[in-house]
């Protein structure tokens, strides 16, 4: 993370907390803006162009804020980022903000890769087991990898829990080779 991104993330988290805003909704709004920015070269050019006056950029931000429905604090924070020429660091700032919120909410992010799609009940059971293992609330994202054959691989930070059939077969193979 760039040296200034954590400071912006911390400052934004303080604003969100002091205004008693819903952190998840704030993150959704920031994500929506980030997606809008990523999908529009013209928008990025306008907001990053130093020859365009800040009042004009603010009018553009007002239009976006109205369309994607943003809290005033979110729009103002984006305006600060634009004014300080930090728009290129938006993803890093959002990542830092997410980490701070996870710390405050005692949550961990888990990447779960399974051999096949999991239904809602399986996901809920798996997330409950991961929460017990991690000792924290889990925010999970899912992926599929047919080469696992069955089971799942769970990544929490730098720790990997491999409960896949592929891993079990590799362990069995290693034991047979060593025997």
Q: Residue 157 and residue 66: Cα distance in Å, rounded?
A: 36
Full set of structural domains in the chain with CATH:
5-103 (1.10.520.20), 107-178 (no CATH)
pTM: 0.66
Confidence of residue 58 (pLDDT cuts 50, 70, 90): very high
| pLDDT value of residue 1 | 44
Is there a contact between 36 and 43 (Cβ–Cβ < 8 Å)? yes
pLDDT tier for residue 56 given thresholds of 50, 70 and 90: very high
Least confident of 59-68, 72-81, 122-131, 133-142: 133-142
Query: Model confidence over 117-152: pLDDT tens digits?
Result: 999 999 999 999 988 888 888 888 999 998 888 888
Phi, psi at 47, each rounded to 5°: -70, -25
The pLDDT value recorded for residue 137 is: 85
From the list 91, 70, 88, 75, the residue with the least C-alpha distance to 9 is 91
Query: What would the mean pLDDT of 149-164 be, rounded to a whole number?
Result: 87
CA dist 99 to 138, 141, 147, 149, Å? 13, 15, 31, 33
């Amino acid at each position: 993370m760039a040296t200034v991104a954590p400071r912006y993330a911390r400052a934004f988290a303080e604003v969100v907390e002091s205004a008693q805003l819903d952190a998840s909704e704030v993150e959704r709004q920031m994500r929506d803006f980030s997606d809008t920015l990523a999908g529009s070269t013209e928008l990025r050019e306008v907001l990053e162009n130093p020859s365009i006056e800040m009042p004009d950029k603010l009018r553009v931000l007002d239009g976006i804020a109205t369309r994607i429905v943003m809290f005033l604090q979110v729009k103002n924070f984006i305006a600060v980022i634009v004014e300080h020429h930090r728009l290129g660091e938006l993803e890093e700032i959002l990542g830092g903000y997410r980490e701070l919120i996870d710390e405050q909410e005692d949550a961990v992010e888990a990447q779960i890769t399974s051999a096949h799609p999991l239904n809602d009940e399986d996901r809920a059971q798996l997330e409950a087991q991961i929460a017990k293992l991690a000792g924290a609330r889990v925010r999970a994202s899912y992926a599929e990898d047919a080469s696992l054959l069955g089971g799942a691989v769970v990544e929490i930070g730098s720790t990997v829990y491999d409960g896949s059939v592929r891993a079990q077969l590799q362990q069995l193979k290693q034991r047979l080779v060593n025997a």
